[in-house]
Amino acid sequence: MRDHLYFYIDGQWVDPVEPKTAEVINPATEQVAGHIALGSVADVDKAVAAARRAFPTWSETTRNQRLDLLRAIQAEYQRRLPDLGAAIREEMGAPSGLANGFHVGLGAGHLQTAIELLENFAFEELRGATLIRREPIGVCALITPWNWPMNQTCVKVFPALATGCTMILKPPQLAPFSAQILAEIIDAAGIPAGVFNMVQGQGSVIGTALSTHEDVDMISFTGSEPVGVQIQKDAATTVKRVGLELGGKSAFIVLDDAALADNVTGATAGMMGNSGQTCSAGSRLLVPAARLDEALAAAKAAADAVTVGDPAGDVAMGPVVSKAQYNIIQDYIAKGVAEGATLIAGGPGRPDGIDKGWFVRPTIFLGDNDMVIAREEIFGPVLVIIPYDDVDDAVAIANDSPFGLAGYVNGLDTSLVHAIARRLRTGWVSMNGGLDFHAPFGGYKRSGNGREWGEFGFHEYLEVKSMLGYA
């Protein structure tokens, strides 16, 4: 049983101002895995005050001082890798291989990237007689989601530290265990008091208090579109900078060539990874209409091959994060059937042989782009296959979405792949796979604003000052 009933404020583990707790449920067992303290506005005030006090000193530290801290954090992070993986498996049901692999590896990658960038990042440059100076924006509130807890926490915390900001982290209530360990890692690395603070609790309480707080200079939020809209509204009264990485309904375009079956198989398996709980997931699979039967057969075989079960075992897919999320996904599957989509694989209910835990069947529909299941983010292992007539049709379907977070194009003709990628109205396009920690990540349209990852992630936390007549 994991009981985390303290907050990390001003360099110390402290009791909440008002004692109140919540259960954390293991989604694979439906049993209580632990408890966390629920913070209040008073806890936020304490954390913000600590960050504000620490900012003048931390913002003036040297590059080497911040590098020393990040490297100390890196050593502690490596030491605690098994603990982080176990926590992620327990809090969100990620299979052991995924939790101990990609989940913790993404956090480590963002930390290494922050170190690499900080070594040579140009905080000042002379343009003629004017010095352009990039300075830390101030006190930052970092509000993170549950679906990739280390990825989306580390991609905020480490660039903020590297650029000289102080911060308050508000972890997700559904998956708080790994953030607790990260706070222990940062504390053990010797971070100065007040630079990093963490308050657990409900988003409606802690997130609102941070968004409206006079002494918070920036909000960085990853999560759903409705919450992001509310944060923008709350932050408007104090004219904060707001960085948002929101939802997606990304198109995965498979071209008509000899690799079609393999690309459909890979796209389907990728969609089911992390139980479909990925904002950038390729949840709309666009395939050539002339080869629809072949594509459907490959997709069905791939979905049927996904092993689902106890995340402690050797499985590809665990449960979704909660009963509420399970019910939302089941509702979308029912909507797909009701609006006439053809069920290719999976369907309602739990997989055969599983009667406990929030497990969803890997599900595939054949549908069209006007259906609800193709318009709204389901955030579960539900893939919609949509046929296209030609390349222009594929691009039009891909761009016909209120979201614009990610896109995928796979095919053997690299020139054509490149041409299609240029036409997609999304902030991030993966062509034939690959991962780059230095590439900016973020969305067009209702998928948010601003960019994280790499150098662009540093700029999120910096103000630009012009010093005229410097030379």
For residues 394-421, give the mean pLDDT: 98
107 plus 187 within the same structural domain: yes
pLDDT on residue 246:
97
Asked if pLDDT for residue 434 goes beyond 90, the answer is no
pLDDT on residue 261:
98
196-242: per-residue pLDDT in tens?
999 999 999 999 999 999 999 999 999 999 999 999 999 999 999 99
Between CA 44 and CA 56 the distance in angstroms is 20
Cβ atoms of 403 and 424 within 8 Å: the answer is: no
Between CA 403 and CA 398 the distance in angstroms is 10
Asked whether residue 287 is assigned to any structural domain, the reply reads: yes
Domains in the chain, number? 2
pLDDT on residue 400:
98
pLDDT on residue 11:
98
- In the structure, what pLDDT confidence band is assigned to residue 147 with cuts at 50, 70 and 90? very high
Between CA 333 and CA 363 the distance in angstroms is 8
For residues 64-92, give the mean pLDDT: 98
pLDDT on residue 315:
98
113 plus 230 within the same structural domain: yes
Question: How many C-beta atoms lie closer than 10 Å to residue 203's C-beta?
Answer: 19
Between CA 102 and CA 446 the distance in angstroms is 27
Strand partners of residue 9: 12
Find the CATH number of the domain harbouring 240.
3.40.605.10
- In the structure, what pLDDT confidence band is assigned to residue 455 with cuts at 50, 70 and 90? very high
- In the structure, what pLDDT confidence band is assigned to residue 257 with cuts at 50, 70 and 90? very high
SS (H, E, C) 254-302: ECCCCCHHHHHHHHHHHHHHHHHCCCCCCCEEEEEHHHHHHHHHHHHHH
Find the CATH number of the domain harbouring 417.
3.40.309.10
For residues 263-267, give the mean pLDDT: 98
pLDDT on residue 183:
98
* pTM recorded for the entire structure: 0.97
269 plus 404 within the same structural domain: yes
Asked whether residue 441 is assigned to any structural domain, the reply reads: no
393 plus 289 within the same structural domain: yes
For residues 425-454, give the mean pLDDT: 96
275 plus 401 within the same structural domain: yes
Asked whether residue 442 is assigned to any structural domain, the reply reads: no
For residues 312-333, give the mean pLDDT: 98
184 plus 56 within the same structural domain: yes
pLDDT on residue 161:
98
First to last CA, the chain: 62
pLDDT on residue 209:
98
376 plus 458 within the same structural domain: no
Mean pLDDT of the chain: 98
186 plus 289 within the same structural domain: no
Asked whether residue 281 is assigned to any structural domain, the reply reads: yes
Between CA 263 and CA 253 the distance in angstroms is 9
* Three-point CA angle 390, 339, 283, nearest 5°: 50
DSSP label of 351 = P
Asked if pLDDT for residue 36 goes beyond 90, the answer is yes
Asked whether residue 284 is assigned to any structural domain, the reply reads: yes
Provide the residue range defining the domain that includes 20. 2-246+447-467
Between CA 93 and CA 119 the distance in angstroms is 37
Active site residues: 245
For residues 315-340, give the mean pLDDT: 98
237 plus 282 within the same structural domain: no
CA-nearest of 395, 389, 427 to 409 is 395
160-193: per-residue pLDDT in tens?
999 999 999 999 999 999 999 999 999 999 999 9
363-397: per-residue pLDDT in tens?
999 999 999 999 999 999 999 999 999 999 999 99
Tokens of 289: 């209409």
272 plus 241 within the same structural domain: no
- In the structure, what pLDDT confidence band is assigned to residue 77 with cuts at 50, 70 and 90? very high
